[in-house]
């Protein structure tokens, strides 16, 4: 479903020239500064609202535009490290000249698309400069918007750089890009005649490893180009999407999750759950499900959970007499638990795209999330060891000590939830308070992270992931708006209502389609592209938008396990050094168990709508 675009022999480390290392260091520190400001500004607004002399004029506008800058900086650094999110994992299985050729072709086409986006962004910024818009303190808005053409330009260059490992290969990629650019600017045929060949080339580049944002942005650019429409609407859509006030929650909550994942929080939480549940049958399975759900809630299903916890939990399961296959299947399946719990990022993004209340989405996901976790726990208990003598005895003193040691981590969801639903903090401010709490507990209370050495590294790693996500969201919006201008949602509604006459049959068909989508398309891209088409159809069948959103996300959760290229399958194969086929066989029971949960969530809407109706309507 998703991988990282990698150049051939990317594992080889080459010493950087001093000037280049300094430039990269400046990029990293600039990203750290931007993320730090994104935390400080909302917190200062909360303090000001409480009567303290803090806060600055126009903080909300600054925060929105800092999100844009953080996204572009993160994307630039992700391109520098060759870690932009990609749909295809095919390049990982290629060797020799085939791998090199795939890298050159995908890199050349990706750089061409990104360069077109940079040119379009320049046109957009020039138009904004003429409009004369200003932020607070008379700061011209176009100064911040200029991050878009600069960012896309740097990404295009770095895509070319990583397309080969030799100067000859890079020269070839640059030459092909220049030739292709000449064809685009002076086409030998009408753009409409080149529509199909251009889309075919884009598909080939995607299969060969081009980043997801290139696929989405390239599709939009090709469609607009073929119609003779200006491409400046794509960066406009990107700007509108990324500067949405709600979207600032994405980097903030992700940063809180990264502070936990990079500290000793995982060991403390495993100790808590082992102390309280390790003595029961299948206790380690309970621990695995709960810890994974906790971490995924704050890392957003990005794969951090399996990578961070897999090496710790696998020995626990094996020592508890779980078979290696069951342990592998449980860890792979549990890695996606938690995306229905607040404040997980997919909930926020669905609310943004579907234009529903974030609070309702948070409340709507709680009970279905519990159902999914409970089903995984039930399966783990069923396959757990039957011999009572093999289980440790319950020690109340040790259990209390474990809770006391991990009390700060256990309070993190409480801080997030209470602050979010309080009256003295806006959603983005609640996210900033949660992030500051996570930072304080891991640097000052536990001292797991060193402020000078570890915190900047963690912030850059978080910004790299966020940059890749925001690039996808921004470029996907251009494609989505093209579909809207073509009245695709209305046409889909007409077709669905004319073809499917039963609401229950529609829901069943929806599950099948969404599981396939979840196994093939990265979740953030799927939200931006599929949800605007899906919501009008759901409304036509009388389905509550919040219920539809939870159905969508729970199917995406199952899509993480869908063969052959579900994200968790690839990550588990990498983390545990197992063949992908072995992981696929191990995860079959988890697929069946979680599919039962999908059906329960789909056909029992009360599971989703009860809490929102109780607290918000």
Q: What is the pLDDT of residue 388?
A: 54
Name the 3-class secondary structure at 86. Answer: strand
Q: Which of 612, 475, 468, 459 is nearest to 76 (CA)?
A: 468
Q: Is the peptide bond before 343 cis (omega within 30 degrees of 0)?
A: yes
Q: What is the pLDDT of residue 14?
A: 55
The verdict on 113 and 32 lying in the same domain is: yes
Q: Is the dihedral of CA 435, 438, 444, 449 positive or negative?
A: negative
How many angstroms separate the CA atoms of 467 and 78, rounded? 7
The verdict on 207 and 346 lying in the same domain is: no
The verdict on 238 and 249 lying in the same domain is: no
Name the 3-class secondary structure at 185. Answer: helix
Q: What is the pLDDT of residue 114?
A: 92
Quick one: DSSP state of residue 4? E
Burial class (CB in 10 A: 0-12, 13-18, 19+), 386: exposed
Q: What is the pLDDT of residue 445?
A: 93
Residue at which a domain ends, from 213, 243, 273:
243
The verdict on 7 and 55 lying in the same domain is: yes
The verdict on 515 and 375 lying in the same domain is: yes
Q: What is the pLDDT of residue 389?
A: 54
42 CB contacts (<8 Å, ≥6 apart)? 59, 63, 248, 252, 426, 428, 429, 431, 432, 433
The verdict on 220 and 343 lying in the same domain is: no
- What is the SS3 assignment for 379-394? HHHHHCCCCHHHCCCC
Helices (H), 560-579: 567-576
Q: What is the pLDDT of residue 20?
A: 87
Task: Provide the domain count of the chain.
Answer: 2
* Angle between the N-to-C axes of helices 18-49 and 427-440, in degrees from 0 to 180, rounded to the nearest 10: 120
List the chain residues with pLDDT less than 70: 1-15, 89, 300-304, 385-391, 564-565, 616-617
Q: What is the pLDDT of residue 346?
A: 87
How many angstroms separate the CA atoms of 265 and 391, rounded? 25
The verdict on 327 and 202 lying in the same domain is: no
The verdict on 255 and 224 lying in the same domain is: no
How many angstroms separate the CA atoms of 616 and 361, rounded? 11
Q: What is the pLDDT of residue 69?
A: 95
Q: What is the pLDDT of residue 390?
A: 61
Residue at which a domain ends, from 243, 265, 283:
243
The verdict on 231 and 253 lying in the same domain is: no
The verdict on 118 and 95 lying in the same domain is: yes
Residue at which a domain ends, from 243, 269, 299:
243
The verdict on 200 and 250 lying in the same domain is: no
Domain that holds residue 264: 245-617
Q: Which of 340, 361, 327, 350 is nearest to 293 (CA)?
A: 340
Given the DSSP bridges, would you call strands 85-86 and 3-4 parallel, antiparallel or unpaired?
A: antiparallel
The verdict on 251 and 143 lying in the same domain is: no
**CA 457 to each of CA 202, 452, 454, 461, 593: distance values in angstroms, whole numbers, following the listed order:** 34, 9, 5, 6, 38
Q: What is the pLDDT of residue 124?
A: 92
Tell me the Ramachandran region of residue 147: left when phi exceeds 0, alpha when psi lies from -120 to 50, beta otherwise.
alpha
């Amino acid at each position: 479903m998703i991988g990282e675009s990698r150049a051939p022999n990317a594992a080889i480390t080459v010493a950087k020239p001093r000037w280049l290392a300094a430039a990269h260091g400046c990029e990293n520190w600039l990203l750290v500064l931007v993320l730090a400001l994104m935390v400080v500004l909302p917190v200062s607004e909360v303090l000001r609202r409480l009567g303290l002399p803090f806060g600055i004029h126009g903080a909300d506008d600054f925060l929105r535009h800092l999100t844009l800058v953080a996204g572009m900086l993160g994307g630039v650094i992700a391109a520098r490290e060759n870690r932009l999110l990609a749909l295809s994992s095919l390049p990982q299985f290629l060797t020799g000249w085939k791998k090199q050729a795939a890298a050159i072709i995908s890199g050349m086409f990706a750089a061409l698309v990104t360069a077109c986006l940079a040119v379009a962004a320049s046109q957009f910024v020039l138009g904004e400069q003429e409009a004369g818009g200003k932020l607070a303190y008379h700061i011209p808005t176009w100064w911040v918007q200029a991050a878009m053409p600069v960012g896309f330009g740097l990404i295009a260059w770095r895509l070319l750089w990583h397309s080969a490992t030799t100067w000859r290969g890079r020269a070839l990629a640059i030459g092909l890009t220049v030739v292709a650019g000449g064809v685009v600017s002076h086409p030998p045929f009408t753009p409409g005649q080149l529509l199909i060949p251009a889309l075919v080339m884009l598909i080939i580049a995607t299969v060969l490893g081009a980043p997801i944002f290139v696929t989405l942005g390239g599709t939009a650019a090709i469609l607009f180009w073929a119609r003779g429409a200006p491409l400046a609407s794509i960066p406009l859509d990107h700007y509108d999407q990324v500067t949405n006030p709600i979207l600032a929650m994405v980097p903030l909550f992700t940063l809180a999750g990264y502070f936990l994942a990079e500290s000793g929080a995982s060991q403390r939480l495993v100790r808590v759950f082992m102390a309280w549940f390790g003595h029961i049958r299948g206790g380690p399975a309970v621990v695995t499900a709960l810890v994974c759900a906790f971490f995924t809630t704050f890392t957003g299903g990005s794969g951090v959970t399996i990578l961070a916890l897999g090496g710790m939990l696998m020995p626990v399961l094996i020592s508890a007499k779980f078979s290696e296959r069951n342990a592998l299947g449980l860890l792979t399946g549990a890695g996606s638990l938690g995306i229905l719990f607040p404040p997980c990022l997919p909930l926020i993004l669905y609310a943004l795209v579907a234009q529903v209340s974030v609070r309702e989405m948070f409340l709507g996901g709680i009970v279905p999330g519990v159902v999914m976790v409970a089903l995984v726990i039930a399966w783990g208990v069923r396959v757990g060891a039957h011999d009572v003598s093999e289980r440790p005895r319950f020690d109340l003193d040790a259990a209390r000590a474990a809770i006391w040691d991990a009390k700060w981590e256990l309070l993190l969801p409480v801080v997030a939830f209470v602050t979010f639903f309080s009256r003295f903090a806006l959603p983005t401010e609640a996210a900033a308070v949660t992030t500051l709490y996570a930072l304080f507990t891991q640097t000052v209370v536990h001292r797991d992270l060193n402020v000078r050495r570890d915190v900047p590294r963690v912030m850059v790693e978080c910004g790299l992931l966020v940059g890749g996500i925001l690039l996808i969201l921004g470029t996907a919006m251009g494609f989505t708006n093209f579909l809207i201008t073509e009245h695709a949602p209305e046409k889909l509604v007409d077709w669905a209502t004319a073809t499917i006459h039963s609401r229950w049959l529609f829901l069943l068909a929806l599950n099948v389609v969404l599981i396939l989508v979840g196994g093939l398309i990265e979740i953030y891209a799927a939200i931006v592209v599929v949800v605007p088409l899906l919501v009008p159809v759901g409304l036509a069948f009388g389905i509550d938008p919040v219920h539809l959103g939870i159905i969508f996300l729970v199917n995406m959760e199952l899509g993480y396990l869908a063969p052959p290229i579900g994200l968790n399958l690839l990550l588990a194969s990498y983390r545990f050094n197992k063949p992908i086929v072995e992981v696929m066989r191990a995860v079959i029971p988890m697929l069946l168990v979680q599919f039962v949960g999908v059906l329960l969530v789909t056909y029992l809407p009360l599971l989703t709508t009860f809490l929102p109706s109780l607290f918000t309507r």
